[in-house]
Amino acid sequence: MQVAIESKPSIDLIDVLAQIRRRVIAVATAGWPELGSIADSLFANPLSPFALLPICTSQAASGPLAPAVRAAAALLLIEQGMRIVDDCADGSAAGAVHSRLGVGRAMNLAMAFQTLGVRELESLPIVPRRRSAIRTDAFRSMLEICHGQDLDLQAGARSLAEYQVVVERKSVAAYEWVATVGAMIGTDSPALLARCARCGGELGWMAQILNDIAAVWFPKPGEEQEFTKPGFPVLLGLHLDHPRARALAQLLRDGPLDRRQLCALLDELQVRPRLLTMALDHRDRALAALAPELDGEAPRDNGPSGLLRRVPLRPQGRQILTLCLDWLLHDGIRLLGS
C-alpha cells in the first residue's frame, strides 16, 4: 500500500458537485416536470464525491470542465436507471423506488432516466469525432454491463472465480466506462484513454469489494435479516485453505443463514482484513494509472508525422481522485471493527 501526497486541485470540487447535481435535475425536468422532482428526491445533496470520476479523468486528459460536468450528470442519470432496474430485479426494498411507486412505474422511470442520460451524452459540446467515440463506447459498455447483470441475476456465482467474472462484466466495466467518457472529452490518445480506463477498472474492483464488506457486516436498516447471493466475503472465505472454511461451507448448505454466525465465521477466517488489503491495493493502482508519467516515462502515441510523441497526463486528475478516495476511506478502520 502507498500513501499519495498531492497538492490541492485548482477547481472548487464542492461547487462542481453542485453543478453536476443541478444539471441532473435540469435534464430530468426537461423530460417532464414531475421527473425532475423525482430526481431531486433520489440524488443525494451533496452528491457522493465519486460523481467526480469523469471530472478526474477529463482533467487528467486536459479536457474542459463544462462538458465534463454535463457528462457526469448524464452518467449519473444512466446509473440511476440501471440501479432502479437492479433493485426491481433483486427485490431490494429499503428505500427503493419500486417500494414507493410500484414496479411498473419504477421501470418506466428507469427507462426515462437512461434515455435522458444517453441524449445528454449525444449533445455534449465537444468536437464531433469525440462525441461519436463516446456514443460508440456507450453502446458497447451498456451492453457489457447488462451482460454482467444478467449473469448476476442467474443462479449466482458458486466460486470466487465465477464471481470475479460477474464483477468484471458488471461493476468493473461500469467504472471503466465512466472514467473513459471523462477522458474522451479531452483526448483522442489511445495511450491516455487506456490509462484512464485502467484507473476506472481498478476503482470498480475496489468499490465492489467495499460494497460487499458493507453488505455483510453493515447491512442497511431493514435488511439486517436478508442475505441473498454470496459476494467477495463468503466466496473468499470458502476459497481459503483454512479448517474453518469447511464450517462456512456447512453453514451455507444448512441455511437459512444467521448473519451473526456468518460474520463470526468470516472474522475467524480474517476475511475483512484480507479484503480491505485487496481494496487498498486496487486504490493504489488506480492512483498510479493517473500518474503524470508512468514509471518515470510518459505514454507515447503516433503523432501527425507518424513519429512517437510523449503524451503525459496532467496531475490535476490524480489530485482530485486522491481527495475523493481519502473521503471514501476516511473511516475505513470501521470496516475492520465489530
Is residue 256 packed enough to be buried (19+ CB in 10 Å), middle (13-18) or exposed (0-12)? exposed
Average pLDDT over residues 109-124: 97
- For residue 213, CA distances in Å to 44, 234, 261, 271, 275 come to 22, 10, 15, 9, 8
The half-sphere exposure of 61 on its side-chain side, counting CA atoms within 13 A, is: 30
- Those residues with Cβ within 8 angstroms of residue 126's Cβ, 6 or more apart along the chain or in another chain: 67, 185
Instruction: Specify the higher pLDDT residue, 332 or 182.
Output: 182
Q: Give residue 3's pLDDT band: very low, low, confident or very high (50, 70, 90).
A: very low
> For the chain, what is the mean pLDDT?
89
Average pLDDT over residues 282-307: 73
**72, 193 contact by CB (below 8 A):** no
Average pLDDT over residues 324-336: 81
Helix (H, G, I), strand (E, B) or coil at 309: strand
In the structure grid, which three cell numbers stand for residue 42, read together?
433520489
- For residue 280, CA distances in Å to 38, 63, 154, 202, 204 come to 35, 28, 30, 10, 12
Instruction: Specify the higher pLDDT residue, 5 or 259.
Output: 259
Q: Give residue 5's pLDDT band: very low, low, confident or very high (50, 70, 90).
A: very low
CA dihedral 305, 306, 307, 310 (to 10 degrees): 90
Instruction: Specify the higher pLDDT residue, 229 or 134.
Output: 134
Average pLDDT over residues 202-222: 91
Does residue 325 have a pLDDT over 50?
A: yes
Q: Give residue 153's pLDDT band: very low, low, confident or very high (50, 70, 90).
A: confident
Does residue 297 have a pLDDT over 60?
A: no
Residue 26 has a pLDDT of 98
Does residue 174 have a pLDDT over 60?
A: yes
Q: Give residue 338's pLDDT band: very low, low, confident or very high (50, 70, 90).
A: low
- Those residues with Cβ within 8 angstroms of residue 55's Cβ, 6 or more apart along the chain or in another chain: 13, 16, 65, 68, 69, 72, 182, 320
CA–CA gap between residue 55 and residue 118 (Å, rounded): 18
Q: Give residue 245's pLDDT band: very low, low, confident or very high (50, 70, 90).
A: very high
H-only helix segments in 103-258: 103-122, 128-153, 160-167, 173-186, 190-217, 232-239, 243-254
Residue 275 has a pLDDT of 97
Q: Give residue 2's pLDDT band: very low, low, confident or very high (50, 70, 90).
A: very low
Give me the percent of the chain exceeding a pLDDT of 70: 88
Q: Give residue 303's pLDDT band: very low, low, confident or very high (50, 70, 90).
A: low
Helix (H, G, I), strand (E, B) or coil at 8: coil
Residue 333 has a pLDDT of 67
Residue 258 has a pLDDT of 82
Residue 146 has a pLDDT of 94
Query: Which element (helix H / strand E) includes 300?
Result: strand 300-302
Residue 300 has a pLDDT of 64
**113, 153 contact by CB (below 8 A):** no
Residues 301, 306, 309: CA angle, nearest 5 degrees: 35
Residue 99 has a pLDDT of 87
In the structure grid, which three cell numbers stand for residue 60, read together?
487528467
Residue 156 has a pLDDT of 73
Q: Which amino acid is at 252?
A: L
Residue 57 has a pLDDT of 98
Q: Give residue 225's pLDDT band: very low, low, confident or very high (50, 70, 90).
A: low
Residues in the chain: 338
**58, 312 contact by CB (below 8 A):** no
Given 3-state DSSP classes, what are the helix, strand and coil percentages for the chain, each rounded to the nearest 5?
70, 0, 25
